[in-house]
Structure 1
Amino acid sequence: MTITQLQYVLAVAEYQNFTLAAQKSFVTQPTLSMQVQKLEDELDVLIFDRSKKPIGITEVGKKIVTQAKNIVNEAERIKDIVDQDKGFIGGDFTLGIIPTIMPTLLPMFLKTFITKYPKVNLIIREQSTEDLISDILEGHIDAGIAATPLEIEFIKERPLYYEPFVGYVPEGHRLGKSQKLDPSDLDISDVLLLKDGHCFRDGVINLCNSSKKRSDEHFQLQSGSFETLVNLSNEGMGMTLLPYLNTLELDTGKKKNLKHFNNPSPAREVSLIYHKSELKIQITEALRDVISGIVRGAIAFQDVKIISPVSGK
């Protein structure tokens, strides 16, 4: 039994197809199939039911796959121990970032990080929070950047920064002459929202639901981008809320429509999240140091109230 064989087993279990598993493992299909068969012969059990389409996993195979994940992770940990002892920060590192954070945060830190740590091969994916959680559990990504708290047992959360919500209120709106906003000013039927699946949307709903002023009307419009929400707002379709870093990219004409909240300002907590096993922790810590150092200078707000990205919390 070898680590490579267990890695092949995990690939087949994930993709339920020998050809696709071989492609993802960067080996030929006959090589992968032969190694899986050798392991089955050695153990004298069938791990996979090849008669099914897609390939099924036998009952004993499910137990073997679970244990294989633990063994492969521990093998990776040995590499980590050696790297940390040598002070080496390098190798592949896959980072997932949610869509409402990636466009503003990535340009701020990417060049600095790859310049400071040239031996790290940073692989970046834009993913929903749900996919981040699943991929961290399955070991498909090493860390993620998401709005927290998530309070998931197997995930560690390391806050990077606290990003205030900012109102975008066009001229002619009922709040257009207000110097600052308060959550009690918000009417949920009047706030343009991102579409379902975005945690920032959930945070806005939670903020509006905590205010005294509410409406029984349904949301009129939903969109997949903050730029669209701003443009719709300018067309008189309502107001919207933006994360603070997104407001830095607006042109001068649009910035005049921005309105900050009274202290404590509602804000989202943005964290680096990763598995509690802490694999590749030296790279995770390097990322955290670089991002925190850069964003600290961009966000000067201190008095904030964290709005949960999870509905009902």
Structure 2
Amino acid sequence: MTITQLSYVLAVAEEQNFTKAAKKCYVTQPTLSMQIQKLEDELDILIFDRGKKPIELTEVGKKIVHQARNIVNESFRIQDIVDQQKGFIGGEFRLGIIPTIMPTLLPMFLKTFLKKHSKVKLIIEELTTEEIILRLNEGHLDAAIAATPLENDTIKERPLFYEPFTAYIPDNHRLSIKKKIETTDLDIDDMLLLEDGHCFRDGVINLCKALKTQNISSFQLESGSIETLIKLSNEGLGMTLLPYLHTLDLSAEDKQNLHHFTEPSPAREVSLIFHKSELKMQIIEALHDVISGIIRGAIAFQNVKIISPLPK
């Protein structure tokens, strides 16, 4: 059997279609089908149940795909070893970033990183944490930037910074007269949230649930973006919590509605995460160094309490 054959098997397992898998692998469909057939003949088993639509893995096929992914990933390590030995930082690098981090952090580091490491071709996707973990495990991402800790045995985490939560409170709100607020001031009944699927939403819920007096079923108004939450808050529909970096570009008028927490401030840990196989570590280290260096000038908070991004 060959690495190429195993790569074809992985492509079909993911696409559940021979034609789509062939397109993904940049080969003709007959070529891909023939190589998989040769592998099945050599092993004297069926990897795919071709009678199902879409195509499904057989029971033994599922075990083969799991092992094939490990083998293909390990084969990439050979080139990785050579690149590290030569001190080469370049090539294609696929990076995922969660939606509540992408619009604020990416503009801060992207230009600097590309200028410093011009041989790296960054392919960046905005993805939820759940999608990121799946793609890291399937080998479709090299690394990601997400809120941590994730408590996932297959993922390694390198903290980049700690981003405090900041309260956005309009003038007509009961807390608007307070310069600094306590977590015990929060009332879930007048809190605006991001839609389900955002880990920052889960962090806010975890912060409120720690008070033991809140009922998350009372959340009624939710939005897909932080910008919309700010606009809804300005309309008097409630307060919201923002990641600190989102507050830097607010208008002077909107900044009047910002209220910091008393220390230790609730905060999220933002990390560079990658698969435990540790491929392309030279690029991961380069990303970490650039982002860490830039973010030090933007966030000076030290006394923080990390709020878990995991749904509880």
TM-score range, shorter chain: over 0.9
Q: Which amino acid aligns with 1:14?
A: E
Classify the secondary structure of the residue corresponding to 1:140: coil
Alignment of 1:109-188 (within 5 A): 109-188=109-188
**Is 1:24 the counterpart of 2:24 in the alignment?**
yes
What CA distance in whole angstroms lies between the structure 2 residues aligned with 1:84 and 1:221? 50
For 2:49 and 2:98, locate their aligned partners in 1 and report how far apart those are by CA, in whole Å: 37
Alignment-mate amino acid for residue 232 of structure 1: L
State the aligned residue count.
312
Q: How is 1:59-78 mapped onto 2 (pairs within 5 angstroms)?
A: 59-78=59-78
* Aligned structure 1 segments of 4 or more residues deviating by more than 6 angstroms: none
Partner-residue secondary structure (3-state), 2:115: helix
Alpha-carbon distance, 1:145 to partner: 0.8
Distance 1:88 1:284 in 2: 13
Residue 8 of structure 2 corresponds to residue 8 of structure 1:
yes
Q: Which amino acid aligns with 1:246?
A: H
- What's the Cα RMSD here? 1.4
Query: In percent, how many aligned pairs have the same letter?
Result: 72
Report whether the alignment pairs 1:190 with 2:196.
no
Match of 1:290 in 2: 290
Tell me which residue corresponds to 2:305: 305
Distance of aligned partners of 1:60 and 1:273 in 2 relative to their CA distance in 1, 3 Å threshold: same
1:61 shift after superposition? 2.3
- Please tell me whether residue 257 in structure 1 is matched to residue 257 in structure 2: yes
Q: Aligned equivalents of 2:69 and 2:214: distance in 1?
A: 48
The equivalent residue for 1:268 is 268
Deviations, residues 284-309 of structure 1 (Å, cap 9, x unaligned): 11111111111111001111111111
TM normalised by structure 2 equals: 0.96
Preserved contact between residue 16 and residue 56 of structure 2 (Cα < 8 Å): yes
Change (3 A) 1:308 1:43: same
1:41-61 deviation per Cα after TM superposition (whole angstroms, max 9, x unaligned): 333332222222111222332
| 8 Å contact kept, 1:181–1:260 | yes
Per the normalisation by structure 1, the TM-score is 0.96
Deviation at 1:220, TM superposition (A): 3.0
- In structure 1, what is the equivalent of residue 46 of structure 2? 46
Contact kept? 1:11, 1:21, Cα under 8 Å:
yes
Shift, 1:233, TM fit? 0.7
Unaligned 5+ runs, structure 1: none
Preserved CA contact (<8 Å) 2:205 2:216: no
* Unmatched tracts of structure 2, length 5 or more: none
Q: Does the aligned pair in 1 maintain the 2:142–2:279 contact within 8 Å?
A: yes
| Native 8 Å contact 1:184 1:213 kept in 2 | no
